[in-house]
Structure 1
């Protein structure tokens, strides 16, 4: 079958794999020769606060693994992947011209900045007579594929999930075949730059044992497949190995969403169904961001833009450092700071605490998570924070406020997780570890922990904070 183009360029972004990859599949099907590229985008890298960033280390190692996969696909010894360092729009256009390709292929991104970037690239390529094609790859349903009966986007998750399931057909999860002839993937790329050459180091990636690339994703997925039956009953307990830990691999495309959904559908049962719901939540937030890019800075529910948040810099600093005096909140924040990961239940707990107990604007917490999370994804992070703050779609109702002590008692009853990240409380017995300030001075002395000295006293009274939050929301709603 004749090829549509003599040559093309696949631009890898958040899809760092050489299997079940839509853009790569399309390029190989349409082009006689296919070049591949990844750009370490200085627009993103230069905004990072540190040159020692786990995410950059993860991406770099995954890019090295991607090149190895492409070499195996094409039976090549030399690098196949062109890896550049610069502003992505100019770099991709210049590389396309340098290689003399007829078209550039990429998978869609739904973040506002990424869409603006891609529009600029498409325009610049068109002016040079080069086509730009983009494809759906990181989700099962995108943009406006799932709408209400009246043709509007969903604002509540449960009916969205129902519509998503009803719309799902085998073709939506069919993998993209990736086959290359020897001549299709030329080995004409220069050696890949090192992390040091782009001005970074790996952070504590090795120390965290965060395995990058498709091999890391597959190993983690294989481990979860053995545990998925217990997912529903174990997923809310941070001291247990209950969740999939695949979020960073989903973020950078070192696993395939179609692969994961197909597995969940084939296994069935409570665990798989509950996990599938979490994958659908991910698409729900992607859909919301595409329809409502204003949620990046504004509340999904416009009435709550009028909320008067507290100017509480001291409280925010204590929250960031894991020094609030509420053990589960502090343990969650310390886990984030040390590892770049936070258990999903704790993300809700600490977000509720910041917005509902400390009265701090959700945007400040969202930005802190963005700087720290290995798996940072704008749509999911924004959606989760607005859910916790009660300003978002399908959010926790404003009058329901997480109690950090009862959350601790319920989801870390023996304090195992707390003791791991708050070693000051290691000797505190189970019945007191959730509220150690209730220990008498004599008990504190016997346990070797003085509240207010060795570990902070609570920086806020939850009962009083709850009343302030209710008043804040009532003022906006005119109640």
Structure 2
């Protein structure tokens, strides 16, 4: 009897450890790992420029890891069903395994693919490789999806769930003959200009780099995470989000590593330090984001709170461009937006600052901000992106109250108390004394001259008066609320 062959269809699970689809395939016989680049099947959200950069390097890394096991990654581009049909015919495979995704377009595509495979007599199985709690497993007492984080997370922690991660396979049995694979460059994932130059200084994609970063975080950073995560001037966050999005790490691996470094977590209780506890709650927010996206798929475009459909958003291509390019005249906002453009990343606190500025100070729609983040973040994740923007705009589940408007100056004092972050990313203000750095328009003329700053020339005047903009935003909200 011949050894059966299984195709493992990879997507956002680009790792060998804690990889349930790969592990099951390896226990069955020969394994053919396959990545199909099909951006047209992602609905309205094909991968943005920064995501494509990361994907290129993550696929490169995964192929290297597979080759160390005597295997390799087969890359194809086209319609998923057509490519799988071709590979089944070329290889004689009798099964296709994959790990589930939860975005609306992916769910519909996966249903169609599974039905077609089963109709052909091909074994088709999917697995949970990216969440601790799948969206349909956590329900309220009224058998409804949660819309508030705290009771959701309490329900999760009260659920008996195994958070143990599975080791990587020690070997993979190869087919007698490998099918053809596209050269990685033919997927055309990298930008044609030098926009990504600083990405190489900032990031290293792939599961080995992800595991190193995780070890460094749990050994050096997690203990102070609750205090340092809101700082922009040094690296106090985990920076695991792109690795998690592309599945170079699983949440089970992260949970296990934090437990190991901090002590075991009994069901419903915690003996972890405060930093680890706060960090694992952030993992919980990711779970909540996927819970919401699964149950409320229209929220990628529409506010969950119906009344916000009538909110009088302004339209201004010029103001949107100034925000995107870090030319608002508010140094903390501009520093964050320039960091995003240069590195594909900004800390979570500054994401909230710039999102509040767009939606409250400028009153430009959260959807425009979500689109920009989608194209420029290396960790662009549809569930997290949607939750984050709706939270800040005040129009989603568990949203910040609309009257919470971030004051850029006060936020800069907390996130960048010495001005190091602003000086790094807004170098035209670098020699301005810290007293004036966060609000250069308030600096005396002689201080500006000494620092070589000419407002309106070397650095923009502020786009708005924050206090007037706040009042206008709150007035608009009151009109919507009372209509």
What band does the TM-score fall into relative to the shorter chain? Answer: over 0.9
1:257 Cα offset (Å): 1.3
Which of 11, 23, 26 aligns to 2:24? It is 26
Number of the residue aligned with 2:131: 139
Which of 161, 165, 175 aligns to 1:175? It is 165
CA deviation profile, 1:427-454 (whole Å, cap 9, x unmatched): 1111111100001223211221011111
Q: Spell out the pairing of 1:435-450 with structure 2 (5 A cutoff).
A: 435-450=439-454
Number of the residue aligned with 2:11: 13
Number of the residue aligned with 1:220: 213
Number of the residue aligned with 2:265: none
Determine helix, strand or coil for the equivalent of 1:97: helix
Task: Single out whichever of 412-421 and 124-133 deviates more from structure 2.
Answer: 124-133
Number of the residue aligned with 1:384: 388
Q: Spell out the pairing of 1:131-280 with structure 2 (5 A cutoff).
A: 131-169=123-161, 171=162, 173-179=163-169, 184-186=173-175, 188-189=177-178, 193-201=182-190, 203-204=196-197, 207-225=200-218, 226-266=220-260, 267=262, 268-280=272-284
Task: Single out whichever of 206-215 and 392-401 deviates more from structure 2.
Answer: 206-215
1:11 Cα offset (Å): 0.4
1: CA distance, partners of 2:200 / 2:168: 34
CA deviation profile, 1:41-77 (whole Å, cap 9, x unmatched): 24279999999x443333233223223323333xx2x
Indicate how the Cα distance of structure 1 residues 383 and 116 shifts in structure 2: closer, same or farther if over 3 A, else same: same
Determine helix, strand or coil for the equivalent of 1:106: strand
2: CA distance, partners of 1:353 / 1:103: 50
Q: Spell out the pairing of 1:270-349 with structure 2 (5 A cutoff).
A: 270-349=274-353
Which of 53, 58, 61 aligns to 1:62? It is 58
Indicate how the Cα distance of structure 1 residues 265 and 146 shifts in structure 2: closer, same or farther if over 3 A, else same: farther
Indicate how the Cα distance of structure 1 residues 211 and 178 shifts in structure 2: closer, same or farther if over 3 A, else same: closer
1:100 Cα offset (Å): 2.0
Report whether the alignment pairs 1:37 with 2:34: yes
Determine helix, strand or coil for the equivalent of 1:341: coil
Determine helix, strand or coil for the equivalent of 2:395: coil
TM-score with structure 2 setting the length? 0.91
Unaligned stretches of 5+ residues in structure 1: none
1:187 Cα offset (Å): 6.5
2: CA distance, partners of 1:311 / 1:57: 31
2: CA distance, partners of 1:69 / 1:259: 18
Q: Is the 8 A contact 1:64 1:192 kept in 2?
A: no
Unaligned stretches of 5+ residues in structure 2: 263-271
Q: Is the 8 A contact 2:131 2:250 kept in 1?
A: no
Q: Is the 8 A contact 2:361 2:469 kept in 1?
A: yes
1:165 Cα offset (Å): 1.3
Determine helix, strand or coil for the equivalent of 1:144: helix
Indicate how the Cα distance of structure 1 residues 376 and 469 shifts in structure 2: closer, same or farther if over 3 A, else same: same
2: CA distance, partners of 1:395 / 1:222: 33
Determine helix, strand or coil for the equivalent of 2:237: coil
2: CA distance, partners of 1:137 / 1:67: 19
Q: Is the 8 A contact 1:80 1:187 kept in 2?
A: no
Indicate how the Cα distance of structure 1 residues 194 and 181 shifts in structure 2: closer, same or farther if over 3 A, else same: closer
1:86 Cα offset (Å): 2.0
How many residue pairs are counted as aligned between the two chains?
468
Number of the residue aligned with 1:406: 410
1:206 Cα offset (Å): 5.8
Indicate how the Cα distance of structure 1 residues 240 and 187 shifts in structure 2: closer, same or farther if over 3 A, else same: farther
Determine helix, strand or coil for the equivalent of 1:408: helix
Report the aligned-residue RMSD. Answer: 2.4
Indicate how the Cα distance of structure 1 residues 192 and 102 shifts in structure 2: closer, same or farther if over 3 A, else same: closer
2: CA distance, partners of 1:213 / 1:192: 20
1:181 Cα offset (Å): 5.8
Determine helix, strand or coil for the equivalent of 1:167: coil
Q: Spell out the pairing of 1:116-131 with structure 2 (5 A cutoff).
A: 116-131=108-123
1: CA distance, partners of 2:138 / 2:332: 38
1:177 Cα offset (Å): 4.6
1: CA distance, partners of 2:25 / 2:289: 29
CA deviation profile, 1:149-182 (whole Å, cap 9, x unmatched): 221111111111111111144x2x1223554666
